[in-house]
Amino acid sequence: MLRTLRSTSNLRAVLESAKGSAGTQQRPSAYTAAQGIAEPAGPFLEFELSARHPALYNKLEPLDAPLLTVEIVGPPRPQPFCDARLHKLEIGFWTRVAIPNQLAASAISFYLENDHPITGFFDADLFVRDLVELRLTFCSAFLVSSLLYFSCQAYARVDSRSLVFVPEFFREAMALWHAERDSSMGSTIPAAERISNPITTLAAAELMSLGCQCHGKDAVGYEFLNAGRRMAQELGLMDVPPGSDRLPNLANKSEQWISASSHVAWGAYNWSS
């Protein structure tokens, strides 16, 4: 171009000639430039977008296939229980739903670790003790079914098998609830399925309310919520003025009963509020 300028006095012609020759030069695309730096890790379109718009389409590193072991892509591995006593669980004593002991214990453990610190409907230590030792003091079939109805929904994010049992536990809990409220059926249900402690009934009703809300059964959930509030009032655990004869005589109650009733009273109050 300098030689052309020295050999002619027509500056305009020189500039137009230079402009035309620059316009005919072929410039590499962003894809071609990026391709010279790194090999594309995916289809042409993905790599083109990554090259043109790196802020929006980040380049993905190639997946190292050997890292995908059977342990990672296989069935979910059992997680350690939050309470070692759950290893002794015999769930068949409490429910007719054919859920494996391991899965039931895992779902219960998941609830105790994640949801119970917020809901706190029962004394976890007393519940687990009676659950594995097959006692009816602070555990019942209705409470177990209600708990598993809710916890199997939450545990599905870890083990999808638990979803199969959600409707079964709902039906069983509803049957136990209606049977217990019908005095004429009291003698026809097995001992393990009888609700012997109103505290466990209240805790189960609150869990059913929570489970129904999460399961899209809002109308049934509100019925259990209202029933739980009425039970808490009847037991003297909620909405009772000081000095009322409905207040429980704590002097005649054991420390375990006081602990269990305190948990369910606080949990019912929180959920009702």
Gap between the Cα atoms of 137 and 249, Å rounded:
19
67 within some domain = no
CB 127 within 8 A of CB 138: yes
Same domain, 51 and 88: no
Gap between the Cα atoms of 184 and 42, Å rounded:
69
> What is the domain count for the chain?
2
219 within some domain = yes
Helix, strand, or coil here: 245?
coil
pLDDT of residue 190: 47
Gap between the Cα atoms of 241 and 20, Å rounded:
95
pLDDT of residue 68: 58
Same domain, 261 and 127: yes
Same domain, 18 and 108: no
Same domain, 119 and 209: yes
70 within some domain = no
Gap between the Cα atoms of 87 and 53, Å rounded:
54
185 within some domain = yes
Same domain, 111 and 187: yes
Return the axis-axis angle of helices 44-52 and 30-37, rounded to nearest 10°. 100
pLDDT of residue 31: 53
235 within some domain = yes
DSSP state of 167: H
> In the numeric block, which tokens belong to residue 140?
């019942």
> Cα dihedral sign for 178, 184, 189, 193?
positive
Same domain, 124 and 190: yes
pLDDT of residue 78: 64
Gap between the Cα atoms of 149 and 116, Å rounded:
14
Same domain, 131 and 191: yes
Could you list the pLDDT tens digit for every one of the 273 residues in the chain? 666 656 666 667 766 766 655 544 555 555 555 555 555 445 667 767 777 777 767 666 666 666 555 555 555 666 788 899 999 999 999 999 999 999 999 999 999 999 999 999 999 999 999 999 999 999 999 999 999 999 999 999 999 999 999 999 999 999 999 887 765 544 444 444 455 578 999 999 999 999 999 999 999 999 999 999 998 888 888 887 777 776 777 667 888 988 999 999 999 998 887
Gap between the Cα atoms of 164 and 228, Å rounded:
27
Same domain, 55 and 96: no
Same domain, 21 and 136: no
Percent of the chain predicted with pLDDT > 90: 47
The domain of 34 spans 13-62
Same domain, 93 and 210: yes
Q: Which amino acid is at 18?
A: A
CB 169 within 8 A of CB 143: no
69 within some domain = no
What does the angle CA 264 – CA 179 – CA 168 come to, to the nearest 5 degrees?
80
6 within some domain = no
> In the numeric block, which tokens belong to residue 263?
């948990």
Same domain, 27 and 152: no
Round to the nearest angstrom and report the end-to-end CA distance of the chain. 85
Q: Which residue spans within 199-247 are E strands per DSSP?
A: none
Same domain, 238 and 139: yes
Gap between the Cα atoms of 65 and 42, Å rounded:
15
247 within some domain = yes
Q: Which residue spans within 108-225 are E strands per DSSP?
A: none
